[in-house]
Chains A and B, each alone.
Chain A
Amino acid sequence: GAVVSQHPSRVICKSGTSVKIECRSLDFQATTMFWYRQFPKQSLMLMATSNEGSKATYEQGVEKDKFLINHASLTLSTLTVTSAHPEDSSFYICSAYSSGWNGYTFGSGTRLTVV
Protein backbone atom coordinates (compact mmCIF):
# COMPACT_ATOMS: atom_id res chain seq x y z
CA GLY A 1 0.00 0.00 0.00
CA ALA A 2 0.90 3.65 -0.17
CA VAL A 3 3.46 4.66 2.44
CA VAL A 4 4.47 8.14 3.52
CA SER A 5 7.68 8.48 5.49
CA GLN A 6 8.15 11.53 7.70
CA HIS A 7 11.38 12.51 9.46
CA PRO A 8 12.36 13.30 12.08
CA SER A 9 9.76 11.87 14.41
CA ARG A 10 10.87 14.10 17.21
CA VAL A 11 13.04 17.20 17.37
CA ILE A 12 14.00 19.67 20.05
CA CYS A 13 15.52 22.96 19.00
CA LYS A 14 16.53 26.24 20.54
CA SER A 15 14.43 29.32 20.07
CA GLY A 16 15.54 31.27 17.00
CA THR A 17 16.86 28.29 15.06
CA SER A 18 15.31 26.60 12.03
CA VAL A 19 14.08 23.05 11.71
CA LYS A 20 13.44 21.05 8.55
CA ILE A 21 10.89 18.24 8.37
CA GLU A 22 10.88 15.81 5.44
CA CYS A 23 7.93 13.98 3.96
CA ARG A 24 8.51 11.26 1.37
CA SER A 25 6.08 9.12 -0.58
CA LEU A 26 7.88 5.78 -0.73
CA ASP A 27 6.04 3.77 -3.34
CA PHE A 28 4.04 6.29 -5.28
CA GLN A 29 4.38 9.71 -6.78
CA ALA A 30 2.64 12.60 -5.10
CA THR A 31 2.19 15.78 -7.09
CA THR A 32 0.47 17.29 -4.08
CA MET A 33 1.28 16.92 -0.42
CA PHE A 34 -0.33 18.54 2.57
CA TRP A 35 1.07 19.83 5.84
CA TYR A 36 -0.91 19.88 9.07
CA ARG A 37 -0.33 21.09 12.59
CA GLN A 38 -1.98 19.53 15.59
CA PHE A 39 -2.04 20.89 19.11
CA PRO A 40 -2.77 18.64 22.11
CA LYS A 41 -6.31 17.29 22.24
CA GLN A 42 -7.21 19.12 19.03
CA SER A 43 -7.87 18.06 15.47
CA LEU A 44 -5.51 18.45 12.55
CA MET A 45 -5.37 21.91 11.04
CA LEU A 46 -4.29 22.27 7.44
CA MET A 47 -1.36 24.65 7.11
CA ALA A 48 -0.52 24.47 3.44
CA THR A 49 -0.79 22.50 0.25
CA SER A 50 2.53 21.65 -1.35
CA ASN A 51 2.60 21.37 -5.14
CA GLU A 52 5.47 19.77 -7.00
CA GLY A 53 7.34 22.33 -9.04
CA SER A 54 5.36 25.33 -7.90
CA LYS A 55 4.71 27.48 -4.88
CA ALA A 56 2.80 26.14 -1.94
CA THR A 57 -0.67 27.36 -1.12
CA TYR A 58 -0.99 28.51 2.47
CA GLU A 59 -4.12 28.57 4.57
CA GLN A 60 -5.29 31.83 6.02
CA GLY A 61 -3.31 32.84 9.06
CA VAL A 62 -0.27 30.70 8.26
CA GLU A 63 2.88 32.75 7.71
CA LYS A 64 4.52 31.64 4.48
CA ASP A 65 7.83 33.23 5.42
CA LYS A 66 7.92 31.32 8.65
CA PHE A 67 6.84 27.95 7.35
CA LEU A 68 8.81 27.38 4.17
CA ILE A 69 7.63 24.55 1.97
CA ASN A 70 9.62 23.01 -0.84
CA HIS A 71 8.29 20.28 -3.12
CA ALA A 72 11.23 19.69 -5.40
CA SER A 73 10.32 16.21 -6.61
CA LEU A 74 7.31 13.95 -6.97
CA THR A 75 8.27 12.07 -3.83
CA LEU A 76 9.61 14.69 -1.45
CA SER A 77 8.20 17.72 0.29
CA THR A 78 9.92 19.59 3.10
CA LEU A 79 8.61 21.98 5.72
CA THR A 80 11.11 24.33 7.33
CA VAL A 81 10.10 26.14 10.47
CA THR A 82 12.26 29.24 10.46
CA SER A 83 13.26 31.22 13.53
CA ALA A 84 11.29 28.85 15.70
CA HIS A 85 9.69 30.06 18.91
CA PRO A 86 8.14 28.11 21.77
CA GLU A 87 4.66 28.76 20.39
CA ASP A 88 5.65 26.81 17.28
CA SER A 89 5.94 23.71 19.42
CA SER A 90 3.39 21.30 18.03
CA PHE A 91 2.84 18.03 16.20
CA TYR A 92 3.37 18.42 12.45
CA ILE A 93 1.93 15.87 10.02
CA CYS A 94 2.17 15.53 6.26
CA SER A 95 -0.06 13.61 3.88
CA ALA A 96 -0.11 12.74 0.22
CA TYR A 97 -2.81 11.72 -2.21
CA SER A 98 -2.43 8.41 -3.99
CA SER A 99 -4.47 7.77 -7.08
CA GLY A 100 -3.76 4.08 -6.60
CA TRP A 101 -6.37 3.75 -3.93
CA ASN A 102 -8.06 7.13 -4.28
CA GLY A 103 -7.14 8.27 -0.82
CA TYR A 104 -4.76 10.09 1.45
CA THR A 105 -1.89 8.55 3.34
CA PHE A 106 -0.43 10.32 6.34
CA GLY A 107 3.09 10.44 7.69
CA SER A 108 3.80 9.39 11.25
CA GLY A 109 4.19 12.99 12.38
CA THR A 110 6.96 15.12 13.87
CA ARG A 111 6.88 16.34 17.45
CA LEU A 112 8.61 19.73 17.51
CA THR A 113 9.61 21.22 20.83
CA VAL A 114 11.17 24.67 20.85
CA VAL A 115 13.00 25.56 24.04
Chain B
Amino acid sequence: LAKTTQPISMDSYEGQEVNITCSHNNIATNDYITWYQQFPSQGPRFIIQGYKTKVTNEVASLFIPADRKSSTLSLPRVSLSDTAVYYCLVVGGQNFVFGPGTRLSVLP
Protein backbone atom coordinates (compact mmCIF):
# COMPACT_ATOMS: atom_id res chain seq x y z
CA LEU B 1 0.00 0.00 0.00
CA ALA B 2 1.37 3.36 -0.99
CA LYS B 3 1.89 5.52 2.08
CA THR B 4 1.22 9.22 1.80
CA THR B 5 2.74 12.14 3.67
CA GLN B 6 1.08 15.54 3.93
CA PRO B 7 1.52 18.58 6.14
CA ILE B 8 -0.58 18.20 9.26
CA SER B 9 -2.00 21.68 9.08
CA MET B 10 -1.99 24.87 7.02
CA ASP B 11 -3.36 28.35 7.49
CA SER B 12 -4.46 30.68 4.75
CA TYR B 13 -6.48 33.83 4.25
CA GLU B 14 -9.60 34.32 2.21
CA GLY B 15 -8.94 34.90 -1.47
CA GLN B 16 -5.51 33.29 -1.47
CA GLU B 17 -4.45 30.27 -3.49
CA VAL B 18 -3.64 27.25 -1.36
CA ASN B 19 -1.33 24.46 -2.45
CA ILE B 20 -1.16 21.23 -0.48
CA THR B 21 1.55 18.79 -1.44
CA CYS B 22 1.41 15.07 -0.82
CA SER B 23 4.32 12.67 -1.06
CA HIS B 24 3.76 9.10 -2.20
CA ASN B 25 7.17 7.68 -2.98
CA ASN B 26 6.13 4.07 -3.48
CA ILE B 27 3.19 4.69 -5.78
CA ALA B 28 2.54 1.78 -8.14
CA THR B 29 1.99 1.90 -11.88
CA ASN B 30 -1.75 1.31 -11.65
CA ASP B 31 -2.38 3.71 -8.75
CA TYR B 32 -4.43 6.85 -9.11
CA ILE B 33 -4.10 9.89 -6.88
CA THR B 34 -7.34 11.09 -5.36
CA TRP B 35 -8.06 13.98 -3.02
CA TYR B 36 -10.96 14.22 -0.63
CA GLN B 37 -12.31 16.99 1.56
CA GLN B 38 -13.91 16.33 4.92
CA PHE B 39 -15.91 18.68 7.10
CA PRO B 40 -16.60 17.85 10.77
CA SER B 41 -19.20 15.12 11.24
CA GLN B 42 -19.47 14.47 7.51
CA GLY B 43 -18.11 11.79 5.21
CA PRO B 44 -15.20 12.62 2.91
CA ARG B 45 -16.20 14.32 -0.32
CA PHE B 46 -14.38 13.72 -3.61
CA ILE B 47 -12.46 16.72 -4.94
CA ILE B 48 -10.28 15.57 -7.79
CA GLN B 49 -8.46 12.57 -9.19
CA GLY B 50 -5.51 12.23 -11.52
CA TYR B 51 -2.89 9.86 -12.87
CA LYS B 52 -0.23 12.18 -14.26
CA THR B 53 0.43 15.78 -15.40
CA LYS B 54 -2.36 18.21 -14.60
CA VAL B 55 -6.06 17.83 -13.97
CA THR B 56 -8.45 20.70 -13.43
CA ASN B 57 -12.10 20.80 -12.51
CA GLU B 58 -14.46 23.46 -11.25
CA VAL B 59 -13.11 23.43 -7.70
CA ALA B 60 -9.41 22.53 -7.86
CA SER B 61 -6.36 21.61 -9.86
CA LEU B 62 -4.09 18.65 -9.34
CA PHE B 63 -0.48 18.73 -10.40
CA ILE B 64 1.44 15.48 -10.72
CA PRO B 65 5.10 15.45 -11.82
CA ALA B 66 6.45 12.89 -14.24
CA ASP B 67 7.81 10.59 -11.53
CA ARG B 68 4.39 10.64 -9.77
CA LYS B 69 6.07 10.48 -6.38
CA SER B 70 4.19 13.54 -5.23
CA SER B 71 1.14 15.56 -6.10
CA THR B 72 -0.10 19.04 -5.32
CA LEU B 73 -3.70 20.03 -4.77
CA SER B 74 -4.30 23.65 -5.68
CA LEU B 75 -7.35 25.49 -4.38
CA PRO B 76 -7.81 28.87 -6.06
CA ARG B 77 -9.10 31.81 -4.01
CA VAL B 78 -10.13 29.95 -0.89
CA SER B 79 -13.04 31.07 1.24
CA LEU B 80 -13.94 30.46 4.87
CA SER B 81 -16.05 27.49 3.79
CA ASP B 82 -12.94 25.73 2.51
CA THR B 83 -11.81 25.19 6.10
CA ALA B 84 -11.68 21.39 6.30
CA VAL B 85 -9.37 18.39 6.37
CA TYR B 86 -7.95 17.37 3.01
CA TYR B 87 -6.86 13.79 2.38
CA CYS B 88 -4.54 12.58 -0.34
CA LEU B 89 -5.16 8.94 -1.24
CA VAL B 90 -3.25 6.69 -3.58
CA VAL B 91 -5.79 4.22 -4.87
CA GLY B 92 -4.84 1.00 -6.58
CA GLY B 93 -7.63 -1.50 -6.98
CA GLN B 94 -9.41 -1.67 -3.67
CA ASN B 95 -6.47 -1.05 -1.40
CA PHE B 96 -5.81 2.33 0.06
CA VAL B 97 -5.07 3.82 3.44
CA PHE B 98 -6.11 7.15 4.87
CA GLY B 99 -3.23 9.25 6.13
CA PRO B 100 -3.76 11.91 8.79
CA GLY B 101 -4.73 14.51 6.20
CA THR B 102 -4.05 18.25 6.16
CA ARG B 103 -6.19 20.47 8.34
CA LEU B 104 -6.67 23.71 6.39
CA SER B 105 -7.82 26.76 8.28
CA VAL B 106 -8.96 29.72 6.19
CA LEU B 107 -8.88 32.97 8.12
CA PRO B 108 -10.84 36.14 7.33
Determine the interface band of chain A, counting residues with CB < 8 A from chain B: 20 to 34
What is the predominant secondary structure among interface residues of chain B facing chain A?
loop
* Residue pair B100, A43 in contact (C-beta under 8 Å): yes
User: Smallest CB-CB separation from B103: which chain A residue?
Assistant: A41
Determine the interface band of chain B, counting residues with CB < 8 A from chain A: 10 to 19
CB < 8 Å neighbour of B46 from A36, A105, A107: A105
Q: Return the 9 tightest CB-CB contacts between A and B, nearest first.
A: A106-B43, A44-B98, A109-B43, A43-B98, A106-B44, A93-B43, A108-B43, A43-B100, A107-B43
Question: B residues engaging A (CB < 8 A)?
Answer: 32, 34, 36, 41-46, 49, 87, 91, 94, 96-101
Question: A residues engaging B (CB < 8 A)?
Answer: 4, 6, 32, 36, 42-46, 49, 91, 93, 95, 97, 101-109, 111
